[in-house]
Amino acid sequence: MSNQLAVDRDAAVEDGVVRVLHPLRMREGSTGEGDGPGSYVGVAIDVETTGLDANTGKIIELALRRFRYDRNGVITDIDEAHEWHEDPGEPLTPEIQALTGITGAVLEGREIDEEAATRLLRSASFVVAHNSLFDRRWVENRLPGARGLNWCCSMSQVDWKARSFDGKVLGYLLVQAGYYHCGHRASADVDAMIQILRHRDSDDRTALAEMIERGAQPGWIVRAKGADFGVKDLLKGRGYRWSSDDKVWWREIEDARLVEEQFWLAGHVYSMDANPKAICPDLERVTARTRFL
């Protein structure tokens, strides 16, 4: 029976029915790709925290790894991994312990090397996290010397659907790329991020190249100030997100789509029939230095 199972498994793999996943082992040094060593430096970062609110919570684990890339967005070299733990001075909730596998005993008396972490972040052209809208606030609250850097996001600034992926969650992207890792630990997520940024589409273009191009373009944060509760489903369907801090629906728009978006809002959110509490949205110009805040 076991021999038959092995035969069936091997046949399924050969026919493409089953994909074999490989453990992700990020190795320091040259990747053997691109025009190496690359002339440009990026740094991937991830944090584990005591909760979801960056204003009241604390970082308990911070990991980062620098990498070099060439002008085509190909990662040519991977630097050593850096990881720190920090005692939050309060007990971790059972939910956070279960999610991360981190306990109070691991954190007791530990702290982030603020000088070293800041120096590494400032040595790169940009910082990338898989959800920079979450990570950036935590990092800048804890490391004030690293404020005002260029940030990119491997989740929102890559069109993963166009690359034939079914979602944007980091672990799932990695699985579809043929790997698995120990998720919800900062260092593992950093390595997973670097790996998916190496992904090439049908035109041989890396996800990193796509992300950098999109991240370098300025845009507009459009806040649907004064929108009536009755249009929330329209806004959500349009791609707007609810900000619990500002109590407003918002989204980022590229320059070329700003006028189109203003016309849409005028007809659906700020018309008399929509019962608006304002006459127009708030607009804020954003760049890589100000995005995700």
Q: What is the arithmetic mean of pLDDT over 167-185?
A: 84
Do 251 and 208 belong to one domain? no
CA-based nearest residue to 51, from 100, 114, 3, 120 = 100
> Sorting pLDDT into bands at 50, 70 and 90, what band is 155?
very high
Cα 194 from Cα 43, distance rounded (Å): 9
Do 275 and 184 belong to one domain? no
* Encoded tokens for 80: 């050593």
* Encoded tokens for 131: 């959800």
Q: What is the pLDDT of residue 21?
A: 79
Per-residue pLDDT reduced to its tens digit, 269-282: 999 999 999 999 99
Give the domain range for residue 137: 2-216
> Sorting pLDDT into bands at 50, 70 and 90, what band is 13?
very low
Tell me which of 200, 216, 232 is where a domain ends: 216
Per-residue pLDDT reduced to its tens digit, 192-250: 999 999 999 999 999 999 999 999 999 999 999 999 999 999 999 999 999 988 899 99
Do 223 and 138 belong to one domain? no
Does residue 6 register a pLDDT over 50?
A: no
Do 137 and 241 belong to one domain? no
The model carries a pTM of 0.86
> Sorting pLDDT into bands at 50, 70 and 90, what band is 111?
very high
% of the chain residues with pLDDT over 70: 93
Cα 227 from Cα 128, distance rounded (Å): 33
Do 10 and 115 belong to one domain? yes
